[in-house]
Structure 1
Amino acid sequence: MGWVYNLHREDPNSEIPRVITICLVFSISALLAICLRFYVRFSTRRTPWVDDYAALASSIFALAYAAIAVVQTRWGQGLSAAYFPEENVIPFSKIQYFGGPVYCLALLGFKVALLTSYLRIAGVVKLYRKVILAAIVVCVINQLVFAVIISVSCIPVARQWDTSIEGKCIDTIPFYFSLAGTSIGLDLIIIALPLPVLWKLQLRLKQKIILAALFALGFFVTIIQIIRIFTVKDLKTYTDSKNIVIWSCVEVSLGVIVSCIPTYGPLFKAFASTVNSYRGNNTSRSYQLGSVHPTSKSATSRRRSNFELISESEGAQITVTTAVTVSAGERTNYRKQSHGGDSEEHILFPGKI
């Protein structure tokens, strides 16, 4: 028996291998990115925090979505309309039904991972912290609402995979546009949130470019969502959903990978240190994963917040002071609540205060 159930004749234009390859490659890459993220955390003796676990959850949902796509190919996903077996419609639709909520939860995971990581940058600033927490609440509510709506878009629910059952369904095309629109809007907010903090940091141009480039990586996910919107408007038959599935896999997987990149600072530093040592550069200090970074010690009476910037390209550590007034009690409370113990970001993170 061939790969597709009930297939009467081979489709010369079958895109099944393309669907399977893209979904598995991107979802597995996201999982590997998470493994590397946790390796860096544990190697540098940093306690994983909310952002790490949110990214992990997102990668698991991304892998689950890819698995659903692969299983769906056994029932005709990737075939041309002329070759799609009619007896596969109901099982094909049942599997597709489970893919919608999983996709929404995968999107939610990496959005929360990015937002909570911002608390490592300047969560000590009360207003900034409140804005981030508000954005997290909006993201959670938005994605959960859409996940629920997807799950009950037809009444009775079984009508979603069996149109012979009497009932009513919402128009899915406008619904998909609404989901994509709100998701893009939230992405733009997430990308813009760290900019006010970065603007106030007294850094060299090269360092600002590096940081801006890291946060701008989120635009890739937004661009993919826009591409996905154009595939939604072409959704007319069962076979038209393959492009949506592919771009959905790419979107959530890249979202996870983008959220992980800023945590790889120690790896870049270790590599730069190795290169410098090989070249006989005596001015650079060696860096090893698991080492503790020395930071400048501030007096307890001083009411300023110090931020440390790690430059991967030079392996240098720079302490930048911003004029943020906080009390000693607020600093203690922030370190306990925002950082999950001693966990900190490796690109831009609050130092000892």
Structure 2
Amino acid sequence: MTWVENARPEIEAESQWPMIVAVCVVLTVAMASTVGLRLYVRIRMIKSVGIDDYVMLASMVCAIIYNGLCIGQTKYGLGLPLADRPPANLNKYSEINFAGRPFYMAGILGFKVALCFAYFRITNRNSRVAYKRVIWACMIFSILTHIGGILVLFFQCSPIRKSVRPRIAGKCLDNAITFYVLAAISIICDLIIFLLPIPLLLKVQINTRRKVALIAIFLLGLFTTLCSIMRMVQISVIYKTGNSTMLVLWGTIEMNVGIFLTSLPSLTPLFTYFSNKAKTSSYGMSSYGKGRSASNTENSAVSQQTSGNYVYGGPTTVERSDSQEHIISNTEKGMTITKTTEIQVQRLHDSIGATNHKSWS
């Protein structure tokens, strides 16, 4: 049984369908997992869901549909040069290709709009009116140009039916010009939106290491610009061989990696939580080694105070916390462990260590 419909075995052997399917599956899993973790952090950990999260969820759905349609196209010729594609598959291939276009444009638009709404979260704390206007302008520009791109792709041929039935009479806009223009617009939007927050992040009051990490993540987002450029390069390849494999793959990579990278900064509380848990566990083991022969009451106190189930609320109180918000560093709310609390923890540790030392004596 062959994968490519109506293809001879020798043609099937030349198809690049295994690579396309593998790339689509891996990217889908990575992208969807990241968005899922983003929603978990927003809903369960910091309990603050914004419009950018809903936009990102919609973008993820578009990406999953587009990835599925890309895999579907391999059944009808994607992965083969145009001359080697079974003629009987032309209409079916064209239908799936046409159906995927709006999902691709909506997917890449989604993570850009989500980023703009995320920038508003930062500016709301700093009341930068001029900066907000710039963000609005960039977001509106991206929305209008990408919607325009969807309309161009939809009405590229006259009659529209010619887009899915290439052999019928009619006229179509030149594919090269259309794709070059759309790629150029995507590149411009990428450059503007991914570089937009850097001046603001340089001034925001957060830990320097975290600030550098966030800036690095946004700069990594420019990888989607590279994907757009590589996709543009493939337009000339299609004219020579008719093989659109790499054009589709670079588009898939651009959309999925864009969504993945856009969601990464939202996972900071999750990374901080596990980092703090690791430090707490290490601290607990150290205390256990020093006071192994201490009384059960003392050991119980140390266990409670270092297990991560309690947080220190003041000089003489220990406050129970059932929420993960209390034990993570939440960038959204500006929560940090104060120096005073650190000193109190250290003093308690020293006191327990001294008591244990006396018990050995």
- State the TM-score, normalizing by the size of structure 1: 0.78
Distance in 2 separating the partners of 1:37 and 1:121 = 17
Tell me: CA distance 1:284–1:208, structure 2 relative to 1, closer, same or farther (3 Å).
farther
The CA deviation string for residues 3-45 of structure 1, in whole angstroms up to 9 with x for no partner, is 2211133333221111111112112321111111111112224
Match of 1:172 among 157, 171, 175: 175
2:314 counterpart residue number: none
Offset of residue 74 of structure 1: 1.1
Offset of residue 164 of structure 1: 2.9
Aligned-pair RMSD on alpha carbons? 2.8
Distance in 1 separating the partners of 2:73 and 2:206 = 50
Offset of residue 317 of structure 1: 5.3
1:157 counterpart residue number: 160
SS in 2 for 1:233: helix
2:9 counterpart residue number: 9
* Kept in 2: contact 1:273–1:284 (CA 8 A): no
* Kept in 2: contact 1:10–1:83 (CA 8 A): no
Distance in 2 separating the partners of 1:155 and 1:81 = 23
What is the percentage of aligned positions where both structures have the same residue?
30
Distance in 2 separating the partners of 1:289 and 1:198 = 32
Aligned AA for 1:94? E
Tell me: CA distance 1:131–1:317, structure 2 relative to 1, closer, same or farther (3 Å).
farther
Q: Could you tell me which runs of 5 or more consecutive residues in structure 1 were left unpaired when the two chains were aligned.
A: 295-305, 311-315, 320-353
1:276 aligns with 2:279: yes
Offset of residue 236 of structure 1: 2.5
Q: Higher helix fraction: Structure 1 or Structure 2?
A: 2
The CA deviation string for residues 46-78 of structure 1, in whole angstroms up to 9 with x for no partner, is 232111011111111111111111111111111
The CA deviation string for residues 209-242 of structure 1, in whole angstroms up to 9 with x for no partner, is 2221122121111111111111122113785111
Aligned AA for 2:324? S
Tell me: CA distance 1:309–1:47, structure 2 relative to 1, closer, same or farther (3 Å).
closer
Offset of residue 79 of structure 1: 2.5
Aligned AA for 2:24? C
* Kept in 2: contact 1:154–1:170 (CA 8 A): yes
* Kept in 2: contact 1:180–1:229 (CA 8 A): yes
Distance in 1 separating the partners of 2:70 and 2:322 = 38
SS in 2 for 1:166: coil
Aligned AA for 2:102? P
Tell me: CA distance 1:37–1:206, structure 2 relative to 1, closer, same or farther (3 Å).
closer
SS in 1 for 2:244: helix
Distance in 2 separating the partners of 1:202 and 1:32 = 30
2:213 counterpart residue number: 210
1:35 aligns with 2:36: yes
Offset of residue 291 of structure 1: 3.4
1:86 aligns with 2:119: no
Offset of residue 82 of structure 1: 4.9
1:103-182 mapped onto 2 (5 Å cutoff) = 103-123=104-124, 124-182=127-185
Match of 1:197 among 197, 200, 209: 200
Where do 4+ consecutive residues of structure 1 move more than 4 Å?
A: 202-205, 281-289, 306-310, 316-319
Distance in 2 separating the partners of 1:216 and 1:145 = 27
1:243 aligns with 2:246: yes
Structure with larger RCO (C-alpha < 8 A, sep 6+): 1
Distance in 1 separating the partners of 2:94 and 2:263 = 34
Distance in 2 separating the partners of 1:32 and 1:158 = 37
Distance in 2 separating the partners of 1:65 and 1:232 = 20
1:26 counterpart residue number: 27
Distance in 1 separating the partners of 2:150 and 2:322 = 40
* Kept in 1: contact 2:237–2:243 (CA 8 A): yes
1:188 aligns with 2:191: yes
* Kept in 2: contact 1:43–1:289 (CA 8 A): no
Offset of residue 140 of structure 1: 0.9
SS in 1 for 2:222: helix
Distance in 1 separating the partners of 2:221 and 2:86 = 40
Distance in 1 separating the partners of 2:260 and 2:307 = 29
Aligned AA for 1:16? W
- Count of equivalent residues: 304
Offset of residue 165 of structure 1: 1.9
Aligned AA for 2:69? I
Distance in 2 separating the partners of 1:81 and 1:106 = 27
Tell me: CA distance 1:317–1:148, structure 2 relative to 1, closer, same or farther (3 Å).
farther
Distance in 2 separating the partners of 1:307 and 1:106 = 26
- Structure with bigger gyration radius: 2
Tell me: CA distance 1:162–1:73, structure 2 relative to 1, closer, same or farther (3 Å).
same
Distance in 1 separating the partners of 2:145 and 2:323 = 39
Aligned AA for 2:90? V
Offset of residue 292 of structure 1: 3.8
Q: Could you tell me which runs of 5 or more consecutive residues in structure 2 were left unpaired when the two chains were aligned.
A: 288-304, 310-320, 340-361
* Kept in 2: contact 1:214–1:262 (CA 8 A): yes
